[in-house]
Chain A
Amino acid sequence: MSSLWEYANPRKFMATSAFLLPWTAGIAAVCLVTGLVWGFFFTPDDFRQGSTVKIIYVHVPAAIMAINAWFMMLVTSIIWVIRRHHVSVLAAKAAAPVGMVFTLIALATGALWGQPMWGTWWEWDPRLTSFLILFLFYLGYMALWEAIENPDSAADLTSVLCLVGSVFAVISRYALLFWNQGLHQGATLSLDREQNISNVYWYPLVITLAGFGFLFIALVLYRTRTEIRARRLKALIAQERMA
């Protein structure tokens, strides 16, 4: 009986990820190139925002994936806490820098977009600010991993931090709404999308979103492979020291 948990075995994960990696990376490259080229060269300007609307193709997918990356880290951390699957927590470790870069992209493009639209580089808008806080959470999570020598202790402590941090991230989100009503436009992607965005912008956006998603999966697979090797390396060095 095959089960999902088999992939938590490092050997099995290495085999499966070796198979998946070229596919996900390939799909990511195709989607990113198609979506960004389409979005940049072949979409009309918005009547109100002008050509800045083109920023949407990097800003929105990066923002969505920045949050999804943290959510994935939360899930894999919980799996580690409950079922002690090493690969799970190493995947969380591998995802953190990728999520942080996505957050940074969302912040930077948000600032560049805000400058012509709102007349200021940085606006303490609830959405922008929550991404800044998310960025701080990523930094803290990664710093804690780096600071602890024993890999299993580091896994446990970062998982606890990820859990507690997630709760506080949600509270911060609501606190920020209370704190400042904000200038940011409403969610770009929602079920009643017809009201927010027309098809000309919608199709390339979905493709770039898929591109960012597959890029995230590919990078996490690739970096998890590295983390597994690094963990193996640590085990071997410890073994040599004992011999």
Chain B
Amino acid sequence: MSLSVTDLACARGPAQILAGVTFSVAAGQALILRGPNGAGKTTLLRTLAGLTPPLAGTIEADPDAIAYAAHADGLKSALTVEENLAFWASVFGTHDPAPAIEAFNLAPLLHRRAGEMSAGQKRRLSLARLLVTGRPVWCLDEPTVSLDVENVARFAAAVKAHLAGGGSAVIATHIDLGLPEAATLDISRFVAKQIRADDPFADSFAEGAA
């Protein structure tokens, strides 16, 4: 499953953040998004995920193909690891959580409540959700936050397995994930911060001359 984006303009609230974003990710490929803080990586990913409607341009991908992972883990601290995964499995249609548990080594934690785990462990559980979704295009926002070296490697292995299975991924990150074959896109060249073009208050409506 491929993802192809043409001339995309993204907004956050009243502000247009990015314009002219064009890239494509074929099946089996990964794209690393780079850019300084506040450049608009999160905004781009939220637009790809279908949460924020784009101002302009097209996203060629089935919206039901995209699995989105945000900064926030989206875990329920009162539920165990197993219950959290079972919940997402039922939301996305029944998929076997076993590969996800395996990939992120969650078996020892299975009956622990999410609220009792460390930030890194929570992150692993949150990433395991991606495997449970069964969706081919991953859009990930800083997936390695609070992961140690060993688990970053686990994550990279999971991404590689996903790509090898015909999936694709768009990953915003600052660190080197160890995915040498992945393309890199610096989004700072698409940054076009201004008042969004569909805002009729953006250009001056001089009353008389005032």
Contacts and interface: CB of A to CB of B under 8 A. Distances in A.
A and B touch in the complex (CB under 8 A): yes
A234 B200 contact: no
Most-contacted residue by chain A among B13, B193, B201 (CB, 10 A): B201
Contacts of A10: 200-201, 205
Nearest to A232: B201
Interface in A186-233: 228, 231-232
Interface residues of B, number: 13
Contacts of B201: 10, 86, 228, 231-232, 234-235
A11 B205 contact: yes
In which size bucket is the chain A interface? 20 to 34
A242 interface: yes
Contacts of A14: 205, 207
Interface in B152-210: 193-195, 199-202, 205-207
A167 interface: no
Interface in B114-149: none
B207 A152 contact: no
Contacts of B207: 14-15, 18
A151 B199 CA distance: 11
Residue of B15, B199, B202 most packed against chain A (CB within 10 A): B199
A10 B195 CA distance: 16
B14 interface: yes
B195 A9 contact: no
A88 to B, nearest CB: 11
Given A10-B205, A232-B205, A242-B194, A150 B13 contact: yes
Contacts of B206: 11
A203 to B, nearest CB: 39
A166 B206 CA distance: 37
Interface string B5-20: 0000000011100000
Considering the complex of A and B, which 6 residue pairs feature the smallest CB-CB distances, nearest first?
A: A11-B205, A242-B193, A235-B201, A232-B201, A150-B13, A14-B207
10 contacts: A9-B200, A10-B205, A11-B205, A14-B207, A151-B14, A231-B201, A232-B201, A238-B15, A238-B195, A242-B193
Given A14-B205, A151-B14, A152-B14, 12 more contacts: A10-B201, A86-B200, A153-B13, A231-B201, A235-B14, A235-B201, A238-B13, A238-B15, A239-B194, A242-B193, A242-B194, A243-B193
